[in-house]
Amino acid sequence: MNKRSGEESKRNIIAAAIQVFADYGYDNASMRMIAQAAGVSVGTLYLHFKNKDDLYLTITKEWIDDLNELTNRALDRIDDPRTAITVFITISIDYTREHREMILLQGRKFGRCLGLEQKQQFFRKRRQLLTDIVQRGVTEGVFRSDDPAETARIIFNVLRGFIFSMLIDEEALFRAEACVDLVLNGLRRRNNG
């Protein structure tokens, strides 16, 4: 019985769970696998988390907070819409590359999606951020867009596609710069357009 502090043990379990969930998906990851990966007994899992859902939600909540903060900090002092788009896309792609496990955030549990409310709010917030940037660009006359929200959704979906490609289809991954280039060009206002 290797005694640790409660918090230490909890972090340890979370780290293990992230790996296992990411490797096998929510459904195929069993509590036994997670326990094994964390080097603890199954019972210990339930000492720190009410159940499998709770463990999963704790993890996703961390990511959401993490990404929110990272994004906010990065966009904090950026006024130029072109730079803002560049930063948003680059951060998203980089973060996804570094945290392949983040796919879990997108995780669907078909019937009832686990923590759906929380996630949708997060997605909504990110799309709003993009919408604001595009809108600003339009106002400033550097972007062209009939419908900034629609444009934001499209950009958002490239990034969502990237997340899944990370997991199921690495050949489909692209460089952030290439994406920025295409998008900025697509948004660009032109005289003879």
Partner DNA sequence: TATGAATGAGAATTCATTCAT
Partner DNA sequence: GATGAATGAATTCTCATTCAT
Is 151 a residue that touches a second copy (CB under 8 A)? yes
β-sheet bridge partners, residue 143: 188
| Residue 168 one-letter amino acid | I
Give the residue with the Cβ less far from DNA, 43 or 193.
43
- Which partner in a second copy, DNA, none is near 114 (CB below 5 to 8 A by kind)? none
Picked from a second copy, DNA, none, the partner binding residue 159 (CB below 5 to 8 A depending on kind) is a second copy
Q: Does 97 bind a second copy (CB under 8 A)?
A: no
Chain centroid, CA 104 distance in Å: 8
Residues binding DNA (CB under 7 A):
1-6, 9, 28-33, 40-48, 50-53
12, 127, 135, 136: residue in contact with a second copy (rule CB under 8 A): 127
Q: How far apart are CA 129 and CA 131, in angstroms?
A: 5
The CB-of-57 to DNA minimum distance in angstroms stands at 12
Helices then strands (H, E): number in the chain?
A: 9, 0
Q: Taking a C-beta distance cutoff of 8 angstroms, is the pair 136, 82 a contact? A: no
For 120, what's the count of Cα atoms within 13 Å in the CB-facing half-sphere?
Answer: 6
Q: Concatenated DSSP letters for 112-125?
A: S-TTHHHHHHHHHH
Closest approach of Cβ 77 to a second copy, in Å? 27
Helix (H/G/I), strand (E/B), else coil: 16: helix
Residues that bind a second copy (CB under 8 A): 22-25, 27-28, 106, 108-111, 113, 116, 119-120, 123-124, 127, 144, 146-147, 150-151, 153-154, 156-162, 164-165, 167-169, 171-175, 178-179, 181-188, 190, 193
